[in-house]
Amino acid sequence: MGNAESVVVQKRLARFGPDEQPMVEGVFDRLLSGSAGAAGEESKALTVDMVKASMGSVASDSMIMRVYACMASIDAGVPMVPGGGVSREQLVIFLADTLCGTAEERAPLVMAMAQRSGKGDVATVDQIKQFLEDLISAVLQTLAHRGRLRGWKPELMGDGARGVKLLAEQLSSEIKVSDQQTCDTPCLEDWIFRISSVAVYLELLVSEGLLVTLPSRPPPTLLPLCREDSWGKAASLLDLPLLLFLAPLLPAGHSTPWRLLFSTHLHGESFTRMMSCIKGHGPTVLLLRDTKGHVFGGFASHSWEIRPQFQGDSRCFLFSVFPCMRVYTCIGYNQHYMYLNHGQQTMPNGLGMGGQHGYFGLWLDSEFGRGHSRARPKCTTYGSPQLSAEEDFSLDALEVWAVSEPPQQEQDENKRSVLDADPEVQAMMELAGKTLHSQGLREPEEDEQ
């Protein structure tokens, strides 16, 4: 970068390893030479078309314009390039702050991207929300373009466009705005510090859009693995923005696969069938839609077991998806986390989460298709409001997803020989003088060692 590089740029470059610094500095020359509109060696600055040539496959024009305006607004501590454009120094600072900056350093960048310029000290909530919609859309486009959907199929899932708006509204609702519904740079700094998703999304977009692959910072994993082989039989209530919202809230995060255990579209409307599908499969996510269109659900931290007592622990939570995306965690008033009962005359029969008998935060009756969400004013376990459109609701669709590796018992059953599954077959083969070849190939049981 020559002798004229600023102290600010030198400090930013020092954050990268010796092998990474040439890669970061080389981005400018690559963008410059990779655009058909570059003016050869005489060009000293990046144009928006040069940035678009690199990012066009993973981001909309609107998001690219935000990124470019942000780059151009950076004070690099050196004279601006004659004729305008983004200088080498501005690009290096932008890369350093988006990829490994602090909340204090990222806040001015978000402000510039929200405003689409570097002018002004405040942004409105609507401006932040529109920026988030562009950013989330770019993240999803990036994951699809790079083949990182991890088995999820957006065309067979819920309305992704609506999900983008819902997630953007949820993230913007976390901003502690002024009475005028505006946000200054310290306000954005506080928000970025508390809500890590914003920085993660920016890091993914910049690293993938500008092809900056750093050994010390591999691309973040944003989606859990999908182990579902029923795609094509029915559309899921899930959408990709909802997965971006839910996965970080789970104790295991993105590290464990999701497996569909029950769906009304696939398995029918039967409480008995639902119970048989979801029992003993570890932590689960319930997602349902009522006939008025409200979508909501809950996370159960333990395997569902039929018993007339409450179960689970404080990791359980309820959430809403539509008309707004929110999460409601335990408030410590009681331990009524999750409940599943059937065939009792003296206790409620059904599936519930939070609240108390007859007054659950989320309840599905054993007479399948009916339920309630009662909160006057809040659920006593999770502090949630009424999640359904009406207090007593009719069920339109339900899905239950296992969000962990299969329990050891289930894995063991999958490994069992057909001879173990049916002892009569084994006896008949022995009587017929057949050799049981699999017997000599098995691992010895613990009590046999």
DSSP secondary structure string, 362-397?
A: EEEESSTTEEE---SSS-TTT-----SSSSEEEEEE
In this predicted structure, which of 30-44, 97-111, 229-243 has the lowest mean pLDDT? 30-44
- Which residue did the predictor score with more confidence, 10 or 415? 10
86 close to 46: Cβ distance less than 8 angstroms: yes
The DSSP symbol for 404 reads S
Phi-psi region of 2 (alpha: psi -120 to 50; beta: other; left: phi over 0): left
Structure tokens at 89: 């120094």
Q: Is the pLDDT of residue 273 over 70?
A: yes
- Residue 27: the pLDDT is 94
Strands 326-329 and 317-322, sheet pairing: antiparallel
**Distance from C-alpha of 322 to C-alpha of 389, rounded to nearest angstrom:** 10
- Which residue did the predictor score with more confidence, 44 or 55? 55
Q: How confident is the model at residue 430 (pLDDT cuts 50, 70, 90)?
A: low
Q: Which residues pair with 362 in a beta bridge?
A: 353
- Residue 80: the pLDDT is 73
Q: Is the pLDDT of residue 130 over 50?
A: yes
| Mean pLDDT on 338-367 | 93
Give the number of other CB atoms < 10 A from CB of residue 446.
6
90 close to 51: Cβ distance less than 8 angstroms: no
Q: Is the pLDDT of residue 446 over 50?
A: no
In this predicted structure, which of 37-51, 170-184, 353-367 has the lowest mean pLDDT? 37-51
Residue % of the chain over a pLDDT of 70: 86
pTM (2 d.p.): 0.86
Q: How confident is the model at residue 247 (pLDDT cuts 50, 70, 90)?
A: very high
Query: Which candidate, 88, 62, 73, places its Cα nearest to that of 2?
Result: 88
**Distance from C-alpha of 217 to C-alpha of 212, rounded to nearest angstrom:** 10
Q: Kindly report the backbone phi and psi dihedral angles of residue 67, in degrees, each rounded to the nearest multiple of 5, phi listed first.
A: -60, -45
Q: Which residues contact 66 (CB under 8 A, 6 or more apart)?
A: 112, 113, 114, 116, 131, 134
**Distance from C-alpha of 217 to C-alpha of 81, rounded to nearest angstrom:** 31
Query: Which candidate, 312, 306, 266, 261, places its Cα nearest to that of 285?
Result: 261
| Mean pLDDT on 276-297 | 96
Measured torsion, CA atoms of residues 250, 256, 257, 262, in degrees rounded to the nearest 10? -50
Helical pair 48-55 and 61-73, crossing angle rounded to 10 deg = 130
**Residues 100, 104, 107, 108: is their CA dihedral positive or negative?**
negative
- Which residue did the predictor score with more confidence, 205 or 216? 205
Characterize 172-210 residue by residue with b for buried, 16 or more Cβ atoms within 10 angstroms of its Cβ, and e for exposed: beebebeeeebbeeebbbbbbeebebbbbbbbbbbbbbb
Structure tokens at 419: 């001879």
- Residue 425: the pLDDT is 44
Q: Which domains, and CATH codes, for the chain?
A: 14-27+42-210 (1.10.238), 226-402 (no CATH)
Q: Kindly report the backbone phi and psi dihedral angles of residue 442, in degrees, each rounded to the nearest multiple of 5, phi listed first.
A: -85, 155
Characterize 68-100 residue by residue with b for buried, 16 or more Cβ atoms within 10 angstroms of its Cβ, and e for exposed: bbbbbbbebebeebeeebbbbbbbbbbbbbbbb
DSSP per-residue codes, 265-327: HHH-S-HHHHHHHHBTS-SEEEEEEETTS-EEEEEESS-B--EEEEE--TT-EEEEEES--EE
- Residue 111: the pLDDT is 95
123 close to 114: Cβ distance less than 8 angstroms: yes
158 close to 235: Cβ distance less than 8 angstroms: yes
Average pLDDT of the residues of the chain: 87
Q: At 328, is the secondary structure helix, strand, or coil?
A: strand
- Residue 444: the pLDDT is 46
Query: Which candidate, 223, 278, 215, 231, places its Cα nearest to that of 253?
Result: 223
